[in-house]
């Protein structure tokens, strides 16, 4: 059975052995709330005699798939995060992410490995605001962080992951004393392999790789990650990046989203960032075939709709965009489809649009 750090605490409870913790999780599974049941099931998997766990990818860019993840890689990742953020034994940490997914699982592993005092609550928007406790470390998705701005004075270090950090959130974090970071990583890399400080004197537009992680580009210009101790083989991503030096990079977008319009490459994620302040409904930028340009930019919004026509959105919103980046058409979908972690299933939404009757 895998070892548990002697300083580890779970909601204030200490455990003399892994066996005692396992017994606690069995009771928690029977009597706990939904998020506690998820936690107990992961802890049981973590404490069994297998040298791996089974987890799944988010499904934001395709069908979710199961991955066999070595526990040794998760322990290694936990130690590197502790080193990078100077978080040692008795760190007061809040788990407000689902233990069904890698981000929540890794919060547990960090606590078990590094000896943290872990406070576990439901993965809600109110996770931080409804408690008076102070924390050395909290990990959140962007929506939780935005909802928690008024309560961040209770947090020493904030790690944001699981989605794109909006310009609005990044600007709001400039006025808080909490050390805020955004993570870069994926299930295949056992959570993050790089961090970007987004406020304070160390703020940067570039992610910095964790110690011992080396980076390169493939022939497409996409990031390749070599992370000994985490992955035995290089992890080839679909993320287009720009290097500052051998360990620092700026994320540009996903190659499978890039739009080639008349020979000009357009990164949807950058157009979306420019439109954030203009739209108060969920949206994304995509492409559709164009007989002259090859592809043209379109805007898809979650909006009351009839046959794909969006309500309340007009092309005047695009006046500040470069001409080639301006959406040529606006589509509305009454309800977007999302992954379990809150990311838009872009391909599924676009397939709905393709089914709409075409105007003659």
**Segment 120-127 long-range contacts (CB within 8 Å, at least 24 positions apart):** 120/10, 120/11, 120/35, 120/36, 120/39, 120/95, 121/35, 121/94, 121/95, 121/96, 122/33, 122/34, 122/35, 122/96, 123/35, 123/96, 123/97, 123/98, 124/96, 127/94, 127/96
Sequential DSSP letters for 249-281: EEEEEETTT-EEETTEEE-HHHHHHHHTTT-SS
Provide the 3-class DSSP secondary structure of residue 332.
strand
Q: Is residue 360 situated within a structural domain?
A: no
For residues 184 and 310, state if they share a domain.
no
- Supply the angle between the helices 102-114 and 71-85 in degrees, to the nearest 10: 70
Residues 6+ apart with CB under 8 A from 177: 153
Q: Is 329 exposed, middle or buried (0-12, 13-18, 19+ CB in 10 A)?
A: middle
**Section 51-78 average pLDDT:** 80
| Final residue before a domain boundary, out of 254, 288, 310 | 254
For residues 205 and 236, state if they share a domain.
yes
Least confident segment among 74-78, 244-248, 303-307, 321-325: 303-307
* Closest to 285 measured CA to CA, from 183, 295, 293, 294: 295
User: 147, 125 in Cβ contact below 8 A?
Assistant: yes
Least confident segment among 61-75, 222-236, 280-294, 315-329: 61-75
Quick one: pLDDT at residue 93?
98
Strand partners, 333: 302
Centre a 10 Å sphere on the Cβ of residue 118 and count the other Cβ atoms it contains.
22
**Section 174-195 average pLDDT:** 93
For residues 297 and 237, state if they share a domain.
no
What is the rounded distance in angstroms from the CA atom of residue 330 to the CA atom of residue 7? 55
Residues 6+ apart with CB under 8 A from 16: none
Scanning the structure block, which residue is given the tokens 């791996």?
52
Better pLDDT: 67 or 239: 239
Distance of CA 146 to the CA centre of its chain: 14
Q: What share of the chain is helix, strand, coil (3-state, %, to 5)?
A: 30, 30, 40
Distances (CA, A) of 267 to 87, 238, 239, 264, 334: 36, 13, 11, 10, 25
**Section 266-293 average pLDDT:** 89
> CATH code at 318?
3.30.300.30
When divided into structural domains, the chain yields a total of 2
pTM: 0.84
Q: Is residue 164 situated within a structural domain?
A: yes
Q: Is residue 97 situated within a structural domain?
A: yes
For residues 13 and 153, state if they share a domain.
yes
Residue range(s) defining the domain that contains residue 264:
259-354
Task: Indicate the pLDDT class of residue 200, thresholds 50, 70 and 90.
Answer: very high
For residues 94 and 212, state if they share a domain.
yes
135-140 and 92-95 beta bridge pairing:
parallel
Confidence check: pLDDT of 36 > 60:
yes
> CATH code at 77?
3.40.50.12780
What is the rounded distance in angstroms from the CA atom of residue 337 to the CA atom of residue 260? 25
Confidence check: pLDDT of 172 > 50:
yes
For residues 144 and 231, state if they share a domain.
yes
**Section 260-272 average pLDDT:** 91
| Final residue before a domain boundary, out of 221, 254, 287 | 254
What is the rounded distance in angstroms from the CA atom of residue 259 to the CA atom of residue 300? 15
Confidence check: pLDDT of 70 > 70:
yes
Confidence check: pLDDT of 359 > 60:
no
Percent of the chain exceeding pLDDT 70 equals 93
Quick one: pLDDT at residue 1?
66
For residues 274 and 164, state if they share a domain.
no
Overall residue count recorded for the chain in this entry: 360
């Amino acid at each position: 059975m895998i070892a548990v750090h002697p300083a580890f605490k779970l909601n204030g409870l200490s455990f003399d052995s892994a066996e005692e913790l396992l017994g606690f999780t069995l009771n928690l599974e029977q009597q706990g709330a939904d998020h506690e049941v998820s936690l107990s099931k992961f802890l049981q998997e973590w404490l069994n005699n297998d040298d791996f766990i089974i987890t799944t990818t988010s499904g934001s860019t395709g069908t979710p798939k199961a991955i066999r993840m070595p526990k040794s890689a998760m322990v290694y990742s936990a130690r590197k995060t502790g080193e990078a953020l100077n978080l040692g034994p008795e760190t007061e940490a809040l788990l407000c992410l689902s233990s069904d997914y890698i981000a929540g699982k890794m919060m547990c592993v960090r606590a078990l490995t590094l000896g943290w005092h872990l406070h576990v609550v439901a993965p809600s928007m109110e996770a931080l605001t409804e408690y008076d406790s102070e924390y050395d470390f909290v990990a959140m998705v962007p929506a939780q962080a935005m909802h928690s701005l008024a309560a961040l004075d209770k947090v020493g270090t904030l790690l944001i992951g699981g989605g794109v950090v909006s310009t609005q959130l990044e600007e709001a974090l400039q006025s808080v004393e909490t050390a805020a970071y955004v993570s870069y990583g994926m299930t295949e890399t056992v959570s993050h392999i790089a961090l970007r400080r987004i406020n304070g004197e160390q703020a940067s537009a570039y992610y910095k790789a964790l110690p011992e992680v080396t980076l390169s580009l493939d022939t497409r210009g996409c990031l390749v990650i070599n992370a000994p101790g985490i992955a035995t083989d290089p992890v080839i991503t679909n993320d287009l990046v720009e290097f500052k030096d051998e360990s620092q990079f700026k994320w540009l977008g996903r190659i499978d989203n890039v739009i080639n319009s008349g020979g000009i490459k357009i990164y949807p994620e950058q157009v979306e960032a420019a439109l954030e302040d203009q739209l108060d409904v969920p949206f994304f930028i995509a492409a559709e075939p164009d007989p002259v340009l090859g592809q043209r930019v379109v805007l898809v919004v979650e909006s009351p709709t009839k046959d794909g026509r969006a309500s309340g959105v007009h092309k005047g919103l695009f006046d500040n965009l470069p001409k080639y980046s301006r959406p040529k058409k606006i589509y509305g979908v009454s309800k977007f489809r999302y992954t379990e972690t809150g990311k838009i299933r872009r391909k599924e939404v676009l397939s709905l649009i393709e089914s709409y009757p075409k105007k003659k």
